[in-house]
Amino acid sequence: MKNTRIYIIVLTFLFSVSVFAQYGSVGVKDARSMGLGKTHNAVSSGLFSVGINPANLSFSNKNTFEIVTLLPLPTVSLRTGTDFISFDEVNYYFGGVNGEPRYLTEEDKKKLNTLFDNGGLVFASANAELFSFSYNPGKEIGVFAFSVYDFGSMSVNIPNALIDIALSGNPVGRTFNLDEGDIKGWWIRNYALSYSKEIPELNILDNFAAGITLKLIHGFSYVGTHKNNTHFTTGMNAEISGQTDLTGYSSFSDNFGVKYDFDSVSRKSDFSLFPSPAGTGFGFDVGFAGSLNDKWRFALAVTDIGNIKWTKNVAEFSSFGYFYLNDLTNREQRDSVKEIVTGDSKKIDNVSTSLATALRVGAAYLFGGELKSWPGSLLLAFDYNQGFNDMPGNSIEPRFSIGTEWKPMDWFPYLRTGFSYGGGLGFNWAFGLGIDAGIVDLHFATSDMQSVFAPNSSKAISVSLSSRWKF
């Protein structure tokens, strides 16, 4: 960061591109879950249940090993887009005409402004599972698993007032509120040790299991606003008065070579897939799952309980004060406003952040021979996900989803689709395929099927791949 004042301005107005990982209450780890519309709480099993519900480990086959590696397919998910504007609209409003700027009409301005009424989130996503394995020796002992997986994430919410200012200027009598502006992001790595065991003594269902996952977390980078109360008003005599009360933090691994304004030490970038951590933390997941009549599955879990303490290259960015400007020719007034708005930055010892804690509830039913006119097996599942904070990938807005998986014949791939709504990301239609080749299964999915049929009118695109060895 060459200039912390520029950083504060960006942090205040929050106008940038971001990445938003598949994590917390709104994301997934594997392609099967994505193909089901992120409906995974009751239907995930084996290694794909780590990070979702550790109790579901008990629903893997007895005396089996499962391994996830980068081959034959890496387990990765990628997503990019917005929650408010389609690619066609981006091209229309910001792409120009034949290389020349487009001059917006008053009707164009009104329409662009209304696009931000229900949010202004810009995102892209990337996550990867580096290595995982599990072993199920049987009900008497329980199931063990170890996983290493990464999430790189950032979310940026652009306040509606920012667009309003750009389109309508600064009319007399208007108050512009920028409190909705927010940015949070990190790159973290989870080292997760999981255990699940059936509990036959509890005669609640035919099978009932409890599970726990303990996590050592290495954080490689973090940036985020922790407070934002910024607004200004133009008075009847064109005077501008307002307040800013904004605080943000950042922390980076030594490998990134980040240099702050206040830092006299010169650092060189030494990027690596295994950088030294900028922060460390501990977390855990706890879950319960049960089955009934080999048809029903039920699940309840709370994931990512814990926090990260960031200690490397930690900076605090703050902007606080009341400002007043009634004479643009008055340099003293201009300098005063500039000093308050751009704020200050300083080195601090550490800052702590919560993990993306979330509640997960799910139910599923497997149709076998009940549907006489419907060949093969059909799985129907429903999920409710609720984040407890606004950390990257999480949302305090509930997310509901429904997913289905159909296997018409033994030799035919699994066909999956699902719908997800809420979680700050609106409505999404997913589709996926799964191939079970005995010792290995392969999965392909997208959570934005509408982008396949109408890519230009879509707001997001995504792809997810997964593979898993079974011995």
pLDDT at 21: 37
Instruction: Return the DSSP state at 368.
Output: S
Contact yes or no for 234/172 (Cβ under 8 A): yes
Element (H, E) at 7: helix 4-13
Per-residue confidence band for 2, with pLDDT thresholds at 50, 70 and 90: very low
pLDDT digit string (tens) for 347-404? 999 999 999 999 999 999 998 756 666 778 899 999 999 999 988 888 899 999 999 9
- Of 43-47, 73-77, 224-228, 370-374, which range is least confident? 370-374
Q: For residue 99, count other CB atoms closer than 10 A to its CB.
A: 6
pLDDT at 252: 94
Per-residue confidence band for 7, with pLDDT thresholds at 50, 70 and 90: very low
Say whether pLDDT at 9 is over 70.
no
- Which residues touch 111 (CB under 8 Å, ≥6 apart)? none
Say whether pLDDT at 12 is over 70.
no
Choose among 126, 39, 32, 29: nearest CA to 441: 32
Q: What's the mean pLDDT in 437-443?
A: 93
Say whether pLDDT at 27 is over 80.
no
Contact yes or no for 424/395 (Cβ under 8 A): yes
d(CA 134, CA 54): 11
Per-residue confidence band for 144, with pLDDT thresholds at 50, 70 and 90: very high
Per-residue confidence band for 435, with pLDDT thresholds at 50, 70 and 90: very high
The verdict on whether omega for the bond into residue 72 sits within 30 degrees of 0, i.e. cis, is yes
- Of 59-68, 237-246, 401-410, 437-446, which range is least confident? 237-246
- Of 63-77, 88-102, 123-137, 221-235, which range is least confident? 88-102
pLDDT at 34: 92
d(CA 145, CA 165): 53
pLDDT digit string (tens) for 310-347? 999 999 999 888 888 887 778 887 788 888 878 888 99
Instruction: Return the DSSP state at 275.
Output: P
Per-residue confidence band for 102, with pLDDT thresholds at 50, 70 and 90: confident
Radius of gyration in angstroms for the set of CA atoms belonging to the chain, rounded to a whole number: 25
Phi, psi of 158 (to 5 degrees): -90, 120
pLDDT digit string (tens) for 79-94? 888 878 888 888 888 8
Average pLDDT, rounded, for the chain = 85
Choose among 376, 221, 383: nearest CA to 308: 221
Instruction: Return the DSSP state at 97.
Output: B
Of 170-179, 364-373, 401-410, where does the model show the most confidence?
Answer: 401-410
Say whether pLDDT at 16 is over 50.
no
d(CA 385, CA 401): 9
Query: Is the alpha carbon torsion for 331, 336, 337, 339 positive or negative?
Result: positive
Determine if residue 370 is left, alpha or beta; phi over 0 gives left, psi from -120 to 50 gives alpha, anything else beta. Answer: alpha
Per-residue confidence band for 174, with pLDDT thresholds at 50, 70 and 90: confident
Per-residue confidence band for 189, with pLDDT thresholds at 50, 70 and 90: very high
Residue with tokens 């704020």, as numbered in its chain: 343
d(CA 434, CA 377): 14
Choose among 425, 383, 435: nearest CA to 404: 383
The domain limits of the chain are 4-84+119-470
CA distances for 22 relative to 129, 187, 465, angstroms: 12, 12, 13
**Pairing mode, if any, of strands 143-157 and 175-177?**
unpaired
Choose among 182, 129, 209, 150: nearest CA to 391: 182
- What is the torsion angle, in degrees rounded to the nearest 10, for the CA atoms of residue 320, residue 326, residue 331 and residue 332? -50
Indicate the CATH number for domain 4-84+119-470. Answer: 2.40.160
Helical pair 160-168 and 106-114, crossing angle rounded to 10 deg: 170
Per-residue confidence band for 179, with pLDDT thresholds at 50, 70 and 90: confident
Burial of 347 (0-12, 13-18, 19+ CB in 10 A): exposed
3-class state of residue 435 by DSSP: strand
pLDDT at 23: 58
**How far is it between the farthest Cα atoms of the chain?**
83
pLDDT at 4: 38
pLDDT at 83: 78
d(CA 308, CA 333): 42
First to last CA, the chain: 49
